[in-house]
Amino acid sequence: MKLINRDTDYAIRALCYIFKHKKKVISASDLVSELRIPRSFLRKILQKLNKKGILKSFKGQGGGFLAAKPADKILLVDLIETFQGKVSLNECFFRKLTCPHKRTCVLRDKLDKIEKQVLKELKRITVVSLLR
């Protein structure tokens, strides 16, 4: 199980790079060359971050991306959910089918507790904490 997939990793790296360059508009080409992220993946990621209001995009000559939110307001858990969906450590083997042991499953109860703790810790991590 991977907690952070490729898209989330790329998004974090791109955001950190943008925040390290403060008020400068960063082009997608700069991000591709500096971070060595494939352009096709990066374009999709930047569009999602723009749509979520995390980045602002500027078109044309000298265009690129600038942070729309402060780094201390961007939570790692929000980035994970944007690119991967809800954080879930407790996905039952039966998936969408109803498990006959759902109410009595000892493992499910233990995993629910672990998941709550993981979410609590993830909510403490902001992009600003990753810049240090």
Domain ranges (residues) in the chain: 6-130
Measured distance CA(41)–CA(39) in Å, rounded: 6
Measured distance CA(25)–CA(20) in Å, rounded: 11
Q: Which residues on neighbouring strands pair with residue 64, listed in sequence order?
A: 58
Measured distance CA(107)–CA(47) in Å, rounded: 39
- CATH among 3.40.50.880, 3.90.600.10, 3.40.30.10, 1.10.10.10 for 6-130: 1.10.10.10
How confident is the prediction for the chain on average, in pLDDT? Answer: 89
Predicted local distance difference test score (pLDDT) of residue 91: 67
Q: What is the dihedral of CA 84, 27, 38, 4, to 10 degrees?
A: -30
Percent of the chain with pLDDT over 70: 91
Whether 99 has a pLDDT exceeding 90, the answer reads: no
Q: How far, CA to CA in Å, does 77 sit from each of 4, 14, 84?
A: 10, 16, 10
State the CB neighbour count (10 A cutoff) for residue 54.
22
Confidence class for position 97, pLDDT limits 50, 70, 90: low
pLDDT digits (tens, 9 = 90+) for 34-90: 999 999 999 999 999 999 999 999 998 889 999 999 999 999 999 999 999 988 777
Stretch 22-42: mean pLDDT:
93
Predicted local distance difference test score (pLDDT) of residue 1: 60
Measured distance CA(22)–CA(25) in Å, rounded: 9
Q: Which residues on neighbouring strands pair with residue 58, listed in sequence order?
A: 64
Residues contacting 36, CB < 8 A, separation 6+: none
Element (H, E) at 111: helix 106-122
Predicted local distance difference test score (pLDDT) of residue 61: 87
